[in-house]
Amino acid sequence: MRYLPLTDTDRQEMLSVIGATSIDDLFVDVPAEARLSDKIAGLPDHVSELAVERHMAALARKNLSAGEAPFFLGAGAYRHHVPASVDHLIQRGEFLTAYTPYQPEIAQGTLQVLFEFQTQVARLLGCDVANASMYDGSTACWEAIGMARRITRRGKAILSSGLHPHYVSVANTMAKFTGDALVHQAPTLDAATDIDALIAGIDQDTSCVVVQYPDILGRIDDLTPLAEAAHAAGALLVAVVTEPVALGAIKAPGHMGADIVVGEGQSIGVGLQFGGPYLGLFGCKQKYVRQMPGRLCGETVDAAGKRGFVLTLSTREQHIRREKATSNICTNSGLCALAFSIHMTLLGEKGLRELAGLNHALACQAADRLAQVPGVKLLNDSFFNEFTLVLSKDARDVVRNLADKGVLGGVSLGRLFPDAPEIGHGLVVAVTETVTSEDIEAFAKALEEELA
């Protein structure tokens, strides 16, 4: 019990100050039949730090980590090199063990970081403003759909077939309860995006069109015509970015007319972490700021006239507004936002553009090499660092068999879209700066054996 500092002597002294004879006296309000007289049976007792570390290390060893194999998985989570200083800095106790900055005089560190983070995210996404983070990309996406409903007072959202299917699932779950009507279908194995179909589907009931960029198959397209069509019908364009590194190379959705841009920020600073914690990015036009969910940090001055930062516009939020809040979100992803912000500061615009360029170049090389494998066809005309291969057999089996050979070779569309067997031969492949030419060759060879 190494984390409990009270001694038995302390406990006795404290009990006498309280006027109780035992700890049990303090639990007198618990009905006797619900009071446990001893520790819960069937669970082990405390053990040493060494013993715990041994147990957890043994479990960690049962996994094949991304760094141990040629690795090509993406589909909403990307492996990038995170500089060592990022992890060092986020482990500073003053960041790691602080609470939400409700007392701004002694939380200027976190608050200034959030102000810088909001500015970085807004500029990256091409938005006027951004908030201090959401749980992840998928929850940011459904919050955006809800925000569009509040702004337009319309209840029909059109989701692109290129939107990550898990994001679609999350939106569908929430829509069952909020009453939004969601229009969506699975993608087809086509080099072109579904923008024309989305435009055709917009009507006077449409609150928003939700489009992912680059999309789940890695395709990229100009969003401007879609934004114009949405706006002409009084609807909003919500753009979803699951790979923010892309925005070091390709146009920002906000600059193509998107009203709300949400994203998954995990790529920058956070790491893979088996799916969480991740970092929801949320940006929008200035005029919609009071409809935003989540925390916002703003600039102000202190009593001595010095610049400082505080959480602001909290009349949108649950702790003030209760059932009339714009969202129920409270705890967000503060530490992940810090990691993102530090990594982005290390990169700067110069580093981000270089990183994006390197990702794209390696992805082009990998796509060309893999397309030479018999039984493999490259779907995409255009992409950033992720593309779709159409294989001569079901990609689910291929992925499993490649894993048995020690190659982590992409994400099968069968796993992502179990209800759409017609696209089951599709394999989504991501290539980041962590991939070497040896990795690409190993993947190509293994794929060749598998498809032979």
Partner 1 sequence: MTMLKEGRPTAPQAVAEAGTATATGNRALMLEEALIFEIGSTATTGVDFAEAPKVASRLGNLVRTDAIGLPGLSEQETVRHYTRLSRQNYAIDLGLFPLGSCTMKHNPRLNEKVARMPGFADLHPLAPQSTVQGALAVIHELAQWLVTLTGMHSVAMSPKAGAHGELCGLLAIRAALEARGDARSVILVPESAHGTNPATAAFCGYKVEDIPATPDGRVDLEALKARLGADVAAVMITNPNTCGLFERDMKTISDAVHAAGAFVYCDGANFNAIVGRVRPGDLGVDAMHINLHKTFSTPHGGGGPGSGPVVLSEALAPFAPLPFVERRGDAFVLVEEETAEEHHGQTFGRMVAFHGQMGMFTRALTYILSHGADGLRQVASDAVLNANYILRSLDDVLDAPFGGSGPCMHEALFSDKGLAEGFTTLDIAKGLIDEGFHPMTMYFPLVVHGAMLVEPTETESKAALDQFIMALRNLAERAKAGDEALKGAPYFAPRRRLDETLAARKPVLTWTEPALAQAAE
Q: Which stretch binds partner 1 (CB under 8 A): 108-116, 153-161, 193-201, 444-452?
A: 108-116
Residue list 221-260, contact with partner 1 (CB under 8 A) = 221-222, 247-252, 255
- The contacts of residue 369 (CB under 8 Å, 6+ apart) are 440, 441, 444
Q: Does 115 bind partner 1 (CB under 8 A)?
A: yes
- Residue number with CB closer to partner 1 (23 or 200): 23
Interface residue with partner 1, options 8, 21, 29, 432 (CB under 8 A):
29
- Residue number with CB closer to partner 1 (232 or 320): 320
Q: Does 11 bind partner 1 (CB under 8 A)?
A: yes
Q: Does 335 bind partner 1 (CB under 8 A)?
A: yes
Q: Does 106 bind partner 1 (CB under 8 A)?
A: yes
Contacts with partner 1 by CB under 8 A: the residue count is 214
- Residue number with CB closer to partner 1 (169 or 188): 169
> Cα(389)–Cα(383) distance, rounded to whole angstroms?
12
Q: Does 103 bind partner 1 (CB under 8 A)?
A: yes
> Cα(96)–Cα(349) distance, rounded to whole angstroms?
27
Q: Does 421 bind partner 1 (CB under 8 A)?
A: no
3 state DSSP class of 435: coil
- Compute CA distances 441 → 175, 303, 436, whole Å: 44, 63, 9
Q: Which stretch binds partner 1 (CB under 8 A): 155-163, 187-195, 347-355, 443-451?
A: 347-355
CB of 227 to partner 1, least distance (A): 14
CB of 199 to partner 1, least distance (A): 18
Residue list 310-329, contact with partner 1 (CB under 8 A) = 310, 312-315, 317-325, 327-329
CB of 293 to partner 1, least distance (A): 10
Pair 362, 386: CB distance under 8 Å: no
- Residue number with CB closer to partner 1 (317 or 439): 317
Q: Does 153 bind partner 1 (CB under 8 A)?
A: no
Q: Name the region of 349 (left: φ>0; alpha: ψ -120 to 50; beta: rest).
A: alpha
Q: Which residue's entry shows tokens 């790529």? A: 267
- Residue number with CB closer to partner 1 (233 or 354): 354
- Residue number with CB closer to partner 1 (21 or 203): 21
Q: Does 32 bind partner 1 (CB under 8 A)?
A: no
- Residue number with CB closer to partner 1 (138 or 206): 138
CA angle 44, 45, 48 (to 5 degrees): 115
Interface residue with partner 1, options 188, 287, 330, 393 (CB under 8 A):
330
Residue list 180-219, contact with partner 1 (CB under 8 A) = none
Is there a cis peptide before residue 244, judged by omega within 30 degrees of 0? no
Q: Does 347 bind partner 1 (CB under 8 A)?
A: yes
Q: Does 137 bind partner 1 (CB under 8 A)?
A: yes
Position 118: which residue type? Q
Interface residue with partner 1, options 261, 395, 408, 420 (CB under 8 A):
408
Cα-based torsion angle of the residue sequence 320, 321, 322, 323 in order, rounded to the nearest 10 degrees: 180
Neighbour tally for 312: CB within 10 Å:
14
Interface residue with partner 1, options 236, 344, 435, 446 (CB under 8 A):
344
Nearest one of 423, 447, 424, 435 to 371, comparing CA atoms? 447
> Cα(171)–Cα(179) distance, rounded to whole angstroms?
11
Give bridge partners of residue 412 from the DSSP assignment: 427
Residue list 46-75, contact with partner 1 (CB under 8 A) = 46-47, 49, 52-53, 55-68, 71, 73, 75
3 state DSSP class of 3: coil
> Cα(271)–Cα(401) distance, rounded to whole angstroms?
26
Neighbour tally for 106: CB within 10 Å:
10
CB of 443 to partner 1, least distance (A): 14
Rounded to the nearest 10 degrees, the angle between the axes of helix 334-371 and helix 108-125 is: 30
Interface residue with partner 1, options 149, 154, 360, 425 (CB under 8 A):
360
Residue list 274-293, contact with partner 1 (CB under 8 A) = 274-278, 289
10 Å CB burial of residue 209 (0-12, 13-18, 19+) is: buried
> Cα(56)–Cα(48) distance, rounded to whole angstroms?
13
Strand 307-312, strand 376-378: pairing: unpaired
Q: Which stretch binds partner 1 (CB under 8 A): 110-118, 182-190, 195-203, 227-235?
A: 110-118
Neighbour tally for 335: CB within 10 Å:
18
- Residue number with CB closer to partner 1 (24 or 203): 24
Residue list 74-93, contact with partner 1 (CB under 8 A) = 75-77, 79, 83, 85, 87-93
